[in-house]
């Protein structure tokens, strides 16, 4: 009996040793980041902007910094992804200070990608995928890279209000103003408010306006009115029973800003510009679809017959 007991003890010790050898080391807990500070009151890329600091709860000195101007934040509020791959989008800045070492974006193999997973009046939830570099001190040295991946960064109500206040965004947005409107009525109102700007842009484009005339119109008329419209319509929650107005916002209101900005960047605006023609027709198609979806059946044929007015033809 004693021999059997000894053999059992030896067997238990042997099995325990195997488990100890094969056991994987426990990895340290991943740091949890939260919004610690929001800095505002400065201009970035010709717009008011904010810097958001994200610091690790376990080590408060380990922080990342994201700078967004007003347009970028409005895009996030509209569930539009924001990307800066290397240095291709100066509207977004991303940097870090980790263990007294500075990291930043560069021209190679760095990024910041922001996606809005959810937004309500109470909070905003973002996902973040970033990669930064700390260049080597010596030419022969090795660059040091660091990555940041956050699946669900929650910006609580009070900090969301701080962001909106710094960026001069109405806390209620247009939701309060247009909450009684149906989906079709809201889409119709958006087009009604925006179409005069688009019509004038088409007129200047097709008429080959001089750079001076176009710049004057863009800076003194278009931009102030367009920014005001974005402030009204961007913060609206389009997720519930607002499929048509959501489409008009994404495919009509937002692209008009890109359309005018592209015209402004051109050395000379040609009526035959392929990009402008395609973009203008996409915008007009969004208006046509809204008309089609919101027109009573009794008048549907009239809308279908008028399809040609929602198309630009540059052939002369």
pLDDT per residue over 88-122, tens digit each?
Answer: 888 899 999 888 789 999 888 899 999 998 887 77
Distance CA 21, CA 254 (A): 60
| Three-class DSSP labels, 46-89 | CEEEEEEEEEECCCCCCEEEEEEEHHHHHHHHCCCCEEEECCCC
- The domain spans of the chain are 33-166, 175-310
Share of the chain above pLDDT 90, in %: 22
Q: Which pTM was predicted?
A: 0.50
At 115, is the secondary structure helix, strand, or coil?
strand
pLDDT band at 275 (very low <50, low <70, confident <90, very high): confident
Distance CA 60, CA 32 (A): 10
pLDDT per residue over 12-39, tens digit each?
Answer: 444 444 444 344 443 345 678 899 999 8
Beta-carbon contacts of 258 under 8 Å, excluding residues fewer than 6 positions away, are 279
């Amino acid at each position: 009996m004693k021999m059997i007991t000894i053999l059992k003890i030896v067997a238990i010790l042997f099995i325990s040793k195997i488990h100890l050898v094969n056991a994987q080391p426990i990895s340290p807990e991943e740091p949890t980041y939260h919004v610690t500070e929001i800095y505002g009151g400065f201009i970035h890329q010709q717009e008011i902007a904010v810097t958001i600091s994200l610091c690790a709860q376990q080590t408060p000195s380990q922080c990342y910094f994201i700078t967004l101007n007003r347009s970028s934040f409005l895009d996030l509020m509209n569930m539009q992804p924001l990307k800066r791959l290397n240095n291709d989008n100066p509207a977004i800045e991303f940097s870090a200070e980790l263990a007294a070492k500075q990291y930043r974006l560069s021209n190679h193999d760095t990024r910041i990608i922001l996606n809005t997973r959810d937004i309500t009046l109470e909070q905003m939830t973002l996902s973040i995928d970033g990669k930064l570099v700390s260049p080597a001190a010596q030419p022969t040295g090795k660059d040091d890279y660091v990555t940041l991946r956050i699946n669900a960064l929650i910006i609580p109500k009070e900090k969301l209000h701080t962001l909106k206040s710094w960026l001069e965004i109405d806390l209620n947005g247009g939701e309060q103003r247009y909450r009684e409107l149906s989906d079709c009525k809201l889409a119709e109102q958006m087009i009604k408010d925006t179409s005069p700007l688009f019509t004038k842009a088409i007129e200047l484009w097709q008429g080959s306006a001089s750079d001076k005339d176009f710049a004057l119109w863009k800076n003194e008329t278009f931009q102030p009115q367009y920014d005001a419209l974005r402030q009204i319509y961007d913060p609206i929650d389009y997720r519930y029973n607002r499929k048509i107005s959501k489409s008009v916002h994404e495919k009509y209101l937002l692209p008009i800003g890109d359309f005018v900005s592209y015209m402004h960047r051109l050395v000379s605006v040609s009526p035959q510009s392929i990009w402008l023609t395609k973009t203008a027709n996409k915008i007009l198609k969004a208006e046509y679809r809204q008309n089609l979806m919101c027109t009573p059946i009794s008048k549907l044929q009239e809308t279908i017959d008028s399809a040609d007015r929602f198309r630009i033809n540059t052939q002369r």
